[in-house]
Structure 1
């Protein structure tokens, strides 16, 4: 087989490598004076990370789901996601989660947020598991929409309003 054919096949195989992306949406709720946070993470990647870091198989979406899944999900997201509002560290409250065949959605809230000037967001979800992991942060505050792309090289983003 010619070398060019082997290189072409290798190129095609490399192009089928899975994408490792997580998305976090942060939206200011003016009525409740809070930040509502939703994380979307591919389910298989999330379960792999929990198993690697905590030694637990959650088996989300199956009949054999781990009985303490909520505690493990909360512990995992609290370890890997943090936020500072106007230079003050906030602890997002874990609200819950939902899963489907491809993803887990994890919900958090930061209460008592009146006015935003500067918000620093850190998200290291899966960054220690996949070298190519990217975490996208979408932030909506009133009429302002901002985004950031996080990676192993930069696991935090600062938004100014």
Structure 2
């Protein structure tokens, strides 16, 4: 009886206190001189944020018009995720997204990015929607992975290689 009560309590607490986390992974592909970015964001949270920002109807999971949905997601990410390498702004190009379980995986890339010594990331994805939003960031270069956690309202992280 005690174990069942504990499991019920944990489940109830999870429902009462939702967990808001996104994960952004930024990988430098040396062979292509390319920066590859993937962002895992809960689809319902991303949809809500985009509806609020653009005041437009949207269904990310079952889009009525995929091109418009892609455009809205690209615009949202362009306003909430910035990367610089060695002090130079990186122009990220939105490639698309896919839904996997409850998450939207969004993909971006930048060409002609040489290996770098420093990377700066500004990430405030979903900060307007969730005061307790956490954004995990991983930067990978030459098989070296550096990670950090940003708790709302902290938006900036620096990485050295």
Shorter-chain TM band: 0.7 to 0.9
Structure 1 runs (4+) deviating above 3 angstroms are 10-15, 63-67
Q: What secondary structure does 1:149 align onto?
A: strand
Give the CA deviation at 1:61: 1.9
Q: Provide the residue aligned with 1:50 in structure 2.
A: 50
Give the TM-score, by structure 1 length.
Answer: 0.87
Q: Provide the residue aligned with 2:102 in structure 1.
A: 102
* Runs of 5+ consecutive residues of structure 2 not aligned to the other structure: 1-8
Is the Cα contact below 8 Å between 1:59 and 1:66 reproduced in 2?
A: no
Q: What secondary structure does 1:68 align onto?
A: helix
- Output the CA distance in 1 between the equivalents of 2:99 and 2:29: 24
Alpha-carbon RMSD across the aligned residues, in angstroms, is: 2.0
* Runs of 5+ consecutive residues of structure 1 not aligned to the other structure: 1-9
Give the CA deviation at 1:63: 6.0
C-alpha distance 57-42 of structure 1, shift in aligned 2 (>3 A): same
Q: Provide the residue aligned with 2:3 in structure 1.
A: none
Answer yes or no: is 1:111 the counterpart of 2:111: yes
Give the TM-score, by structure 2 length.
Answer: 0.87
Give the CA deviation at 1:153: 3.0
Aligned residues: 153
C-alpha distance 12-29 of structure 1, shift in aligned 2 (>3 A): closer
Q: State which drifts further: 50-59 or 79-88.
A: 50-59
Q: Provide the residue aligned with 2:88 in structure 1.
A: 88
Q: Provide the residue aligned with 2:60 in structure 1.
A: 60
Give the CA deviation at 1:138: 0.9
